[in-house]
Structure 1
């Protein structure tokens, strides 16, 4: 088996402390931004930034492109901008960088829910696509499959129970379902129209899709049962969907789906779709359910000002889904749209992968 290689030098991590706030923030945001923030926002922002990405003997954050994150946002997969044939795995908790000899295709990686395994697709010299699964803990490639029939996927998602991996091809309106270990095709689903995105149910028995109508005048959320391989539910919405900005998130209890499409963030009751409702209106952003399924953290991309004409701004809200209202709002000061948004497993912290891959932990309880 091919092994995963760790860097010989120990990485250097900078933990944010009150004594180093200004130096740290100046390094990641710039002195002009710090002056513009003022004292209160500066203190608020610094208290919530925990660990900066600064690994010794590895490329700088400015030279790396974000690829994907594990479900708990502890592991980040990154690639070098000039494609040096390596995939960099940054572990925030262990404060360590390791590398894989891999050149994965863009948007074709997926983490197992426990963060132990990483799946990705890679182009071969004959224009075919191969699939691989790495065990990050043992540092070994544990499974592979020469994908000569199905082609490159646009989106990949690992089932919560770890048994299956779903790959979506937008061009073909087709979803391929793989057994995870060993990698092996199970079956394909032929979808009726253009697919924006998809998400697994918590029990790994169903898939939800955002589907746009052929004339692109409306969109819907369809729920498919994998045992019968048939559509079991559908709810339609008006509005022009944007396939590449649409998002789906299934609540951990399976009772609700948050669907972002057509400038709307809709909350769908899976047991009674007629009781679904509009939570807020926005073009796109990032969202994540709390572990108990009662709250939804939302970063609205419309809160980000244009870089060339105005100062940047970033805030995110926590919605009480039952009361249908915002109960907390957080100001991230001056920052770009984050790479990822998540929730700690105990539900006490909201985690953001932000500027230069710094991990922000926001205490909201």
Structure 2
């Protein structure tokens, strides 16, 4: 199957530059994955499509304010760093302009934070060893900016709007955006109805934004992301499957975590590690039944994953309908429930 098979035409004005005022007031397209039948709702209506005993799996990763700016000692300039992965006080980063961040260079971020470039990978990533006065996370919170996707060009007034209301485990370079629609009140109403809510963690990497460059999708290599599923969550998912209830993943990150762990019988177990799973048609889902997701970029791995749960034709037709109805697209856009 070719990457170009997942292209659709999207008018630029439909790319949402900011979130709606009330999280759960975004629009919600209900899509029957087998028939392609479409309904137009609002996100708070999602409760009507979930039944007592269904399990809603959310990703509780928290986005780091991972974009920081520094300069070389005694230089007046601006060098941008995007923090990706941490091992103790050494971080893998993207830097711009990279030529100013050579091995051995000292970078000053503030009077509390500096770093030395200690290595450069083959793909150009820099490895920085940080020195700081105080608590690193608190300093980063003061200095850092949210690493918004490149298609969002407007500044975000409230950086908490790029976090889910249940974000807990810090480590992501991007938000699990399907979860941005939930409010604490809506989650409480879902629990009152008997929906089982549970949390996994998958730290979203920047590979989320990297385009598929291969003509044939089978040749694309996925980025690696760290995940955690605890025993109590695995037990709830397995109980639901055994009793005929649905496992509803919130976001493609939850899908990737669950499907990376599930065995051929659809059972999951407590596990942590890294996944590079690439889900594209024809993929047979082992555990996930339904998906709440945003509208994704043309020719992206996320659109390929979504198509796998239904069919390429049904999904692209739904996207065509979304364009016609002027849905808002991408991270701060509207949502789709594939049931």
TM-score, length-scaled by structure 1: 0.26
Which has the larger helix fraction?
2
Quick one: higher RCO (CA 8 Å, sep 6+), 1 or 2? 2
Higher strand residue share: 1
